[in-house]
Amino acid sequence: MSPTIWLYIALAIFIVALVIAIIGVVIFVKGIKDPVKKMKGSADNLKGRMANLQLETTTLQHRANELKEDMAAKSERVSVMIDAAKGTKNSVLDLNSSVRMITSGVATGVSQDRRNVAQVNQLSDLTMGLLDLWKDLKYVKEDISVSTKEIMFDEQPQVEKIKLN
């Protein structure tokens, strides 16, 4: 056999091997096509989940910052209320001590000066008299307004109310 025949045989074997290789690659590509699609779908699904997770993380971080600011504001308000309560306590204690000092001063002054007691009694009686006078004037004004209304509307006068003190 001549070398050309061997060359043609070698070329034929090479072409058959190349065809077999191409068929193998085609079969391999077709066989791997479904798993690649599944992997691509899984990757897309994973991307979507990551985007949702990132959005939720951002939302939670925003809410955490709002809660932190709210807690700081409420803590400040509570501090102000506590300071005010302490101030109120101190004011009540100061007022109590002032009232005690005034009361003791008045008691001392009254016990030392009997003339003041007489003046206090006189002023109390005068005040009570003025209150009674004011009540009587108020009653008289009511009677006058009732009488005026009766005259204006031509009504029959009613029996006068008599108030005894």
The CA angle 158-164-165, to the nearest 5 degrees, is 145
Rounded CA separation 116/109 (Å): 8
Q: Which residue has the tokens 């005690």?
A: 100
The predicted structure's pLDDT at residue 54 = 94
Rounded CA separation 111/132 (Å): 30
The residues spanned by each domain of the chain are 3-112
The CA angle 152-156-158, to the nearest 5 degrees, is 105
Residues 6+ apart with CB under 8 A from 165: 132, 136
Residues 6+ apart with CB under 8 A from 132: 165
pTM of the entire predicted model: 0.38
Buried b (16+ CB within 10 A) or exposed e, 24-33: eeeeeeeeee
The predicted structure's pLDDT at residue 151 = 53
The predicted structure's pLDDT at residue 165 = 45
The answer to whether the beta carbons of residues 150 and 156 sit under 8 Å apart is: yes
121: left (phi over 0), alpha (psi -120 to 50) or beta: alpha
The predicted structure's pLDDT at residue 144 = 63
Average pLDDT of adjacent 10-residue blocks, the chain of 165 residues: 87 94 93 90 92 94 94 89 79 80 76 71 86 80 59 51 50
Least Cα distance to 32 among 40, 44, 43, 42 occurs for 40
